Structure 1
């Protein structure tokens, strides 16, 4: 019992094609390591047999645990929920599709033993992804780095190890639309990278299509940057200057007044709509955060001690509301 406990949090959503493989790989990894492990799967409202497969594994392996959402609340909230249920001295967050290989975890643990509080996986290559996905991901990370007020490492996802004191700080941040990697950077502490090649997905399909990637990018920007608000101001100033220049040029050259009016109307209309959209995004986040609703609803837990089950199911959601 003196061996340190490492918690691994794995959000899952419709992963029935590959979840058994993931369980087998992780159990084999845990069996060959000196540390103790708990594997906490967070079922984010799967409509397939993902929950049933995990539940069956729990009956055979006490180190596996399940947190079951009442519906789909999203990948980032599933991570937030998972870390709240951990009890390890360190917590590893990883996806359940084996793109982030468990073989990297020992290197993370080694750096943790050398005094680092956060050890994040930094991708060198992204196997099995389209050129468009790689290009947009690269652009996203670099724009985020330039536009946010915190230092978010390039080419990093949510695959990381965190010390218990970092997790305890994150648990005090009940954000409605969390951007976990940004939150981890924001809390500070000693952080370092482990570089690795991201593997091709073993089975199934990505749960982050373009639409969700855009939402994640907007969440990251609006959570940690005021640049979009300043951009609206800059665009308004630019539109005003452009309008004045166009008007002066039109008076000097006797340019068609109708063309001038059409150009200016289109320009000003576009700037106004863009500005309203930017403001609406920030106001929407304020509105969502102000509602006293729980971040998510846990319908069931499996594999935890009965006392913890009772606490989680009866009090957990109310604690989240009260913490706001």
Structure 2
């Protein structure tokens, strides 16, 4: 079976399309470049038959991976796991088996920023892991920018499943306000006492620049949440299917306007 999109909607949207059209008691999501080994599927099925609704593949190693990117990804997974309010297993991708009820609930969520790793943790049920060593792609070259793609995945994992950045902004704002009041009172005390002015104009300028940077960072964090709210309220479809091949009947009527 195959779905052809009307244009390139991205990996996440195409994964969602596959889940919407999927039939059967279970569904496996995997990359088509064979970096996710199909030979692992029988073991996933065995664990699913043992009563697990989600069986995800955890990477022991990544052959041919850039050491710098590997370190960044390793650290990023741990940051996401630390900040997220739902369980997101470390060192995993989208390669996983899901029962039909998990697929149903994930599709019903209709998130515009579709982050499968977090959504399967959000819906719950029983999870299990299988481990494997990821190899290089079988052939061809990827058009996927791993650096920008990894950054987007990280942002989706953090801002889609955690309010901690907003809480940190509040705490930082309170500290900055207290520091500002303290500096203001100190300046007033010096003026009233008639003593020479407080030396260190350069130091004060540096402090103001740092505070300005913190404010811009805070605006950027708030902007990330606002952008996600904006995407949600538009309620645009996440994908548009141009052609369906191998389906017994047209499934387009079953597809809601998923954001």
Aligned pair partner of 2:82 in 100, 123, 146:
146
Aligned pair partner of 2:98 in 154, 157, 162:
162
Partner of 1:196: 132
Shift in Å at residue 117 of structure 1?
0.8
Identify if the C-alpha distance between structure 1 residues 256 and 122 changes in structure 2 by more than 3 Å, giving closer, same or farther: same
Shift in Å at residue 243 of structure 1?
4.0
Question: 1:232, 1:274 within 8 Å by CA — same for their partners in 2?
Answer: no
Question: 2:55, 2:130 within 8 Å by CA — same for their partners in 1?
Answer: yes
Match runs of 1:12-161 below 5 Å: 65-161=1-97
SS across alignment from 1:162: strand
Higher deviation after alignment, 167-176 or 257-266:
257-266
Question: 1:124, 1:195 within 8 Å by CA — same for their partners in 2?
Answer: yes
Partner of 1:14: none
Identify if the C-alpha distance between structure 1 residues 253 and 152 changes in structure 2 by more than 3 Å, giving closer, same or farther: farther
Aligned pair partner of 1:292 in 222, 235, 248:
235
Shift in Å at residue 162 of structure 1?
0.6
- Matches of 2:197 and 2:44, distance apart in 1: 69
SS across alignment from 2:257: helix
Question: 1:128, 1:201 within 8 Å by CA — same for their partners in 2?
Answer: no
Aligned pair partner of 1:212 in 130, 136, 149:
149
SS across alignment from 2:76: helix
Pair 1:274-2:217 in alignment: yes
Higher deviation after alignment, 204-213 or 162-171:
204-213
Aligned pair partner of 1:265 in 187, 208, 214:
208
Shift in Å at residue 260 of structure 1?
4.4
Unaligned runs of 5+ in 1: 1-64
- Matches of 2:244 and 2:180, distance apart in 1: 61
Question: 2:235, 2:257 within 8 Å by CA — same for their partners in 1?
Answer: no
Unaligned runs of 5+ in 2: none
Question: 1:243, 1:264 within 8 Å by CA — same for their partners in 2?
Answer: no
Pair 1:223-2:160 in alignment: yes
Shift in Å at residue 271 of structure 1?
1.5
Partner of 1:53: none
- Matches of 2:212 and 2:5, distance apart in 1: 43
Question: 2:55, 2:98 within 8 Å by CA — same for their partners in 1?
Answer: yes
Higher deviation after alignment, 265-274 or 91-100:
265-274
TM-score under structure 2 length normalisation? 0.90
- Matches of 1:79 and 1:245, distance apart in 2: 53
Partner of 1:52: none
Question: 1:247, 1:260 within 8 Å by CA — same for their partners in 2?
Answer: no
RMSD: 2.1
Shift in Å at residue 262 of structure 1?
1.4
- Matches of 1:240 and 1:173, distance apart in 2: 39
SS across alignment from 1:289: helix
- Matches of 1:120 and 1:258, distance apart in 2: 57
